[in-house]
Structure 1
Amino acid sequence: MASRYQTAFKLYPYEKVAAQDSKNVVRHPVVIVGGGPIGMTLALDLCQRGTPVLVLDDHDGVGLGSRAICFARRTLEIADRLGFGDALREKGVRWDVGKVFYGADKVFEFNLSPEAGYKAPAFINLQQPFFEKFAVEQIRKEQAAGAPIEIRGCNEVVSVEDKGDFVRLRVDTPDGPYELEADWLIACDGARSPVREMLGLSFEGRVFEDNFLIADVKMKADFPPERWFWFEPSFEGAGQSALLHKQPDDIWRIDFQLGWDIDRKVELEPAKIRARVDAMLGPNAQYELEWTSIYTFQCRRMEKFCHGPVLFAGDSAHQVSPFGARGANSGVQDADNLAWKLDLVVKGLAPQSLLDSYGEEREHGADENILNSTRATDFLTPKSDMSKIFRNAVLNLAGKYGFARTMVNSGRLSVPCVYDGLSLNADDELGGPHISRVGASCPDAPHGEGYLLDLLKGDFTLLAINAEAPTSFEIDGIAANIIMIDHPHDALAARYLGDQKSAIYLIRPDQHICARWPAYDAAKVKAALNHACGRH
């Protein structure tokens, strides 16, 4: 079905460049293949750090339909650091409450923001094309200010050769093919990644025997901005489950579980879709079908995300079932993790081995997401009569007993990945709160007239709370920002001090905590920073 999103945002129309007629093959420090949310987030992060980056996309703007629609707090915090978080929040629909139904009965509801003191909401609903649009608009601002970034639309990569210490690409355009080279190639080209296929790399995992229909419906409705999920809904044609989400511009996202043995062509006929939507909303509902699609649950990942000068991020590296909003959100965390490490390597401030930690940490993140998505899928689509009896018994009990609600799984919603026990972690000598342990991303908290994370830019940061610290800190070309806080806000103290009187935190450029102590020790801070940069 055609969609207004197909032509609404032609963000990087094709323009011929001099390199297409040059006899010399141009070498670029970093080339990103794919202009989706992950590729654009990574490109924006790199160019803000001063690392030259070229983005190649086979289209001239955003793709069809809403696709990803739930962007989590951590993603919004990353977007804030990069400069387009406000645009996401202003356009998106904020939600904190979810409701779970079994048949026609509400089983329970939950609130994802029980605690105050965070700048970003738990989630916003926003169609993926808008995320891409706002990221590209920020890139245009950076370009205008002289940032080293270029986007080439309608440039399709048709050949990739790994030369060991660089990559050669053949690119097709409306004016014919040309070649270029990259010191580093980042594949952000989606679940069907052509780059991955060209290099003959595997993509292993489970494909679940079920299909889900997505329908973007434009209508005026009085439903609240909440996540409504039905197990075995009472309305006809919905299958085993259904999901309803509000999006901006009077668009509502509806998912129906169709089963495995279906005729996709028949199920995508507008009359067939309308019959399902009418049964859900009532025969008198007035709406328009904006976009429809059918997807199959898949939980897969590459064995390794790093292959010499070729790195993989987002859906090209891993794919999860959409319930739980773990796809785009985990991909943005990939970009957040990779950008600062690649920047240090390109500038010669860290060894290439630092990029191995990108693979270690984000493969860990992918495994966590796949585990949660697989469990959700198994609960949504029981594979035997006995497992279905168990699932339905849990749903019956959940309406009355709290213990059973923790067993209901309609998709464990995306939370920041914690790198517990991984190789870049250094000292954890504070004995402080679990939420701010080494390996975790920094929890936000009020500070002054704003919030703590507003002070954490894209650099290493030394955070001193009720503690003495130097006014500057630099080791071998890598400096740390210094933030000193006395008499912290109650929420900040609870999240960073706990029962301790003072604390020193060393925070990575991606706002993950790499070490913490009760007091400042120059030698320990130096060792931890070098460790976090792979300079062991």
Structure 2
Amino acid sequence: MPYDYKPFPYVAPPGLTTPEPRHKVIVVGAGPVGLAMALDLAARGVPSVLLDDNDVVSVGSRAICWSKRSLELFDRLGVADKVLGKGATWSVGRVCHGDDEIFSFDLAAEPGHRMPPFVNLQQYHVEAFLAERALAEPLVDLRFRNRVTGIDQTGDTVHVTVKTPDGHYALTADYVIACDGARSTIRAILDLDFDGELFEERFLIADIEMEGDLPSERWFWFEPGFHDGQSALLHRQADNVYRIDLQLGPDADPEEEKKPEKVIPRIEKVVGPDFELDWVSIYSFQCRRLKDFVHGRVIFAGDSAHLVSPFGARGGNGGLQDVDNLGWKLAAVLDGRAPESLLDSYNRERVQAADENIVQSSRATRFMTPANGAERLFRDQVLALARKAPFARGWVNSGRLSTPCVYATTAPDDPALPPVSRPGAVAPDAPQGNGWLLNALGRDVVLLAVNCDAPAGLDVPVLRIEVNDLVAERYLGDAERALYLVRPDQVIAARWIEADARQVRKALAALWEGRP
């Protein structure tokens, strides 16, 4: 295999021999979401214990398409350069019907962003980069082969029982963050279940290693001749590894379809005979979530909170956006700078985002795997029309690609300012001298002054920025000046063309209290 799955060292935890002091945060699950969560908290001065029941990174490529927003988070966590250097950057997608390309798209058409639209990189590489950072971070206590077996809450304390190769021990903490994936142990212990939809359709997913000059593009086929009239997807990754997804139908036997003698002939029809098969899995679509992501002092993030079908790259990226939303809020609550009600806004906003992802993923699933009758007739007519009419190409749904949720809010907003920077949206990036605007925002609340001065007497950092063409387009529109209140996760909290100190203070109070 192209990746060497070396185990991380197991170290006997101190709790086996003596009671441990109460911890601020316990994070359960050292996948991309759990590792990013612990690192984000550490960057805000909050120590955590990170528990994982395994001692190696995930086997197989799994999540591979990391969006621009995830790359911006990786940049703040110190691993973006490694991800960019190792991964396959892409922006072009090609959509085919049968064996003919019917249209293509280029996500990099908009200039003036530091990060590309997407980088393809196997999840095991991303986990390794994040784990390396976590092991070097004094505020992250990363413990491998530590499996949570019990969890209970009393008042303001979470009690956790952990099993290791050397026996059991107990931990207590102010909060537990469950990032332990689709088969979450924490969710099972608390007897919580998902609401939503299970799809019967099965897909084969495979990593193959081959030498070739295929471009770094997303290729999607509806009803290709090489695959019995079903859907197929091809992505390039790092190390000459390619990811192939092949629709199998609802009656496929998972154990039978995983056998190399079944898999290899299917893939040969796509790329020819010169490849090595590295990893195979069979999956079914799920578009489901917990009713609530906050349960007392146990908070769920990533796949432990919500699941979507993989087309559109909304699973791993959605989990990292959970981290982006939760980290600063939990740090503020633990530091006493904000009331516990701020965590209610994590639940509200990320439930909204999960529902948005579920809707988009469900629509893509139905378009790719339509039921016989009206659904199939509509899908086939849209594909036929898209060959000839550009206006119909936006109706073709091979997976609407991940973008950050714009949170619902009643915050102050001057509608004369550009919609791209409205409250609830992530602040759009733009060049600033030799740097970038998002890097200049830092990790705290900032009042962004665009072509003006901030009101006097405010206890909030003020950032005056250089107004170039892209800043004017994204932050001013036809206005001559503007003030933007930006949250620590770089989401716009409020904006005005003109405002006095009282108006800004009122918006600040709403931000820290978690009011919409």
Distance 1:152 1:184 in 2: 17
The alpha-carbon deviation at position 482 of structure 1 amounts to 2.1
| 2:149–2:162 Cα contact (<8 Å) kept | yes
Give the SS at the match of 2:109: coil
Distance 1:44 1:485 in 2: 28
| 1:61-460 to 2 correspondences below 5 Å | 61-143=56-138, 148-237=139-228, 240-282=230-272, 285-421=273-409, 426-429=411-414, 431-460=416-445
Pick aligned residue for 1:44 from 39, 47, 50 = 39
Give CA deviations for 1:106-154 in whole Å, capped at 9, x if unaligned: 11001112111110111010111111122222234432xxxx2210000
Give CA deviations for 1:224-261 in whole Å, capped at 9, x if unaligned: 11000000111045x51000000010000000000111
The alpha-carbon deviation at position 205 of structure 1 amounts to 1.0
Pick aligned residue for 1:57 from 52, 55, 69 = 52
| 2:487–2:493 Cα contact (<8 Å) kept | yes
| 2:202–2:248 Cα contact (<8 Å) kept | yes
1:535–1:443 distance in 2 versus 1, CA, 3 Å: closer
The alpha-carbon deviation at position 430 of structure 1 amounts to 5.9
Distance 1:334 1:254 in 2: 28
Give the SS at the match of 1:299: strand
Identity between Structure 1 and Structure 2 (%): 51
Q: Unpaired runs of 5+ in structure 2?
A: none
Give the SS at the match of 1:59: coil
The alpha-carbon deviation at position 520 of structure 1 amounts to 4.5
1:236–1:409 distance in 2 versus 1, CA, 3 Å: closer
Which residue does 2:461 correspond to in 1? 481
Distance 1:84 1:420 in 2: 31
| 1:244–1:254 Cα contact (<8 Å) kept | yes
Distance 2:319 2:34 in 1: 9
The alpha-carbon deviation at position 472 of structure 1 amounts to 8.6
Distance 2:435 2:414 in 1: 29
| 1:472–1:481 Cα contact (<8 Å) kept | no
Pick aligned residue for 2:11 from 9, 15, 26 = 15
Which residue does 1:464 correspond to in 2? 449
The alpha-carbon deviation at position 52 of structure 1 amounts to 1.3
Worse-superposed segment, 512-521 or 112-121: 512-521
Which residue does 1:477 correspond to in 2? none
For 1:36, give the aligned amino acid: G
For 1:436, give the aligned amino acid: S
| 1:48–1:142 Cα contact (<8 Å) kept | no
1:247–1:471 distance in 2 versus 1, CA, 3 Å: farther
1:268–1:113 distance in 2 versus 1, CA, 3 Å: same
For 2:390, give the aligned amino acid: G
Distance 1:400 1:365 in 2: 35
1:227–1:462 distance in 2 versus 1, CA, 3 Å: same
Distance 1:255 1:141 in 2: 36
Worse-superposed segment, 448-457 or 288-297: 448-457
The alpha-carbon deviation at position 210 of structure 1 amounts to 0.6
Distance 2:135 2:21 in 1: 23
The alpha-carbon deviation at position 281 of structure 1 amounts to 1.4
For 2:439, give the aligned amino acid: D
Give the SS at the match of 1:169: strand
For 2:214, give the aligned amino acid: F
The alpha-carbon deviation at position 318 of structure 1 amounts to 0.2
Distance 1:499 1:271 in 2: 63
For 2:327, give the aligned amino acid: A
For 1:244, give the aligned amino acid: L
For 1:18, give the aligned amino acid: P
Give the SS at the match of 2:284: strand
For 1:72, give the aligned amino acid: S
| TM-score computed with the length of structure 1 as normaliser | 0.93
| 1:9–1:133 Cα contact (<8 Å) kept | no
1:464–1:535 distance in 2 versus 1, CA, 3 Å: same
| TM-score computed with the length of structure 2 as normaliser | 0.97
Which residue does 1:491 correspond to in 2? 470
The alpha-carbon deviation at position 466 of structure 1 amounts to 0.6
| 1:430–1:518 Cα contact (<8 Å) kept | no
Matched, 1:516 2:504: no
Distance 2:59 2:342 in 1: 36
Dislocated runs of 4+, deviation >6 Å = none
| 2:14–2:20 Cα contact (<8 Å) kept | no
The alpha-carbon deviation at position 365 of structure 1 amounts to 0.2
Which residue does 1:526 correspond to in 2? 505
How many residue pairs match? The answer is 515
Give the SS at the match of 1:504: strand
| 1:164–1:308 Cα contact (<8 Å) kept | no
Give the SS at the match of 1:183: strand
Distance 2:143 2:457 in 1: 40
Give CA deviations for 1:7-38 in whole Å, capped at 9, x if unaligned: 5353x42101222111x353211000000011
Give the SS at the match of 1:367: helix
Which residue does 1:507 correspond to in 2? 486
